[in-house]
Amino acid sequence: MKLHAVAIAGPTASGKTGLAMAMAEHLQKRGGAEIISVDSALVYKGMDIGTAKPSLAELAAVPHHLINIRDPLNAYSAAEFARDALACVAEISSRGKLPLLVGGTMLYFKALMEGLNDMPGADTVIRTRIQEEAEKLGWPALHAQLKLVDPLTAARLAPADSQRISRALEVFRISGLTLSSFQQKAIREEDAYNFPMLSLEPLDRAWLHQRIEQRFDDMLAQGFLEEVKTLRARGDLQIDLPSMRCVGYRQAWEALDGIMPMTELRDRGIFATRQLAKRQLTWLRSMPHRHIVQADSAQLVQQALKWLDAQWP
């Protein structure tokens, strides 16, 4: 079967960008590669430090796609990503290069590789009722409700993941069907696209936690808080927007609002990032066809390149 692209997935701070750059360099003698970002935060303009966007040098060394394509005021859905990513795959392939799908937004990978069925659209009345229930009972209580009707979706979501809990409950209340059932029905035919996936999964969870902590410290040193202040100063952004709910940005916004002490920003940001990594690993374990490489291994790059050569000799 024709190889359409290679996917590199993994939790945040697992080394995906560095490995993708090494792969692109390795492929230079065979026509080269271009990177398609599979990251729901990198799509937003003006959100550079807190999203750990590739550096200017990395962006110049290898062409990147689906980065800085949306204003933070405008949401970007998984369905839109799948459409845009497939267009990028076709364009890159037409140039004789290998597309590298790199990121940690697992819903984007699922949308791309399995498709998304036509789920119900938004219902303002039901969504408002869910929000009112959350204000009265708290999101963990609504997460418990979701667990009763859609345990598969609930297992992937944190009890405080208000946006996704709300959407899953909304879908169920509109249709009587679970979000997971819609996603399961949407699987494409097996040979529609060939996207073998390399999954970076650390053996030692403490290794990943240390990298997450160091990354957040680096972001703060690079001016992350000033970046959030600049976004707030626009006047048209709110904390409930998908862009501002990205890990780190939400915590910084709350600290600047005085909802939590500024002294707690570092610890809460690191904790939220660890929780994100945990959810990403849970998603990955539900993808049985992935090829696992040990992210904290000294032989990571050599093992990954060997796997790559087997996919695209």
199 plus 180 within the same structural domain: no
How do 64-65 and 33-38 pair as beta strands?
parallel
The tens-digit pLDDT sequence of the chain (313 residues) is 577 899 999 999 999 999 999 999 999 988 999 999 999 999 999 999 999 999 999 999 999 999 999 999 998 888 889 889 999 999 999 999 999 999 999 999 988 887 766 677 778 889 999 999 999 999 999 999 999 999 988 988 889 889 889 999 999 998 888 887 775 554 444 445 688 999 999 999 999 999 999 999 999 999 999 999 999 999 999 998 999 999 999 999 999 999 999 999 999 999 999 999 999 999 999 887 899 999 999 999 999 999 999 988 7
108 plus 246 within the same structural domain: yes
Q: How many CB atoms lie within 10 A of CB 238?
A: 12
Domain-located, residue 241: yes
Give the pair of three-digit tokens for residue 234.
Answer: 């626009």
198 plus 273 within the same structural domain: yes
The residues facing 9 across adjacent strands are: 103, 199
195 plus 287 within the same structural domain: yes
The domain of 160 spans 124-185
pLDDT of residue 116: 63
Domain-located, residue 245: yes
Domain-located, residue 197: yes
144 plus 205 within the same structural domain: no
Domain-located, residue 301: yes
Q: Are 163 and 157 in contact (CB under 8 A)?
A: no
The residues facing 294 across adjacent strands are: 201
Q: How many CB atoms lie within 10 A of CB 177?
A: 16
pLDDT of residue 185: 55
pLDDT of residue 188: 44
**How is residue 67 annotated by DSSP?**
S
Distance CA 304, CA 102 (A): 14
Question: What CATH number does residue 131 fall under?
Answer: 1.10.20.140
Domain end (from 132, 150, 185): 185
pLDDT of residue 181: 74
pLDDT of residue 158: 85
Question: What CATH number does residue 73 fall under?
Answer: 3.40.50.300
Domain-located, residue 19: yes
Which of 52-59's residues contact partners 24+ apart within 8 Å by CB, and which partners?
A: 52/12, 52/13, 52/17, 52/215, 52/219, 54/17, 58/17, 58/21
144 plus 229 within the same structural domain: no
pLDDT of residue 85: 93
106 plus 201 within the same structural domain: yes
∠ Cα 117 119 123 (to 5°): 165
Domain-located, residue 1: no
152 plus 222 within the same structural domain: no
Average pLDDT, the chain: 91
If residue 132 lies in a helix (H) or strand (E), which one and from where to where?
A: helix 124-137
Domain-located, residue 222: yes
* Count of structural domains within the chain: 2
132 plus 29 within the same structural domain: no
Distance CA 260, CA 242 (A): 20
pLDDT of residue 189: 41
Distance CA 212, CA 204 (A): 13
Domain end (from 142, 170, 185): 185
Domain-located, residue 37: yes
167 plus 196 within the same structural domain: no
Where on the phi/psi map is residue 119: left (φ > 0), alpha (ψ -120 to 50), or beta? beta
Length of the chain equals: 313
Question: What phi and psi, each to the nearest 5 degrees, are found at residue 102?
Answer: -125, 125
178 plus 223 within the same structural domain: no
Domain end (from 185, 208, 237): 185
192 plus 163 within the same structural domain: no
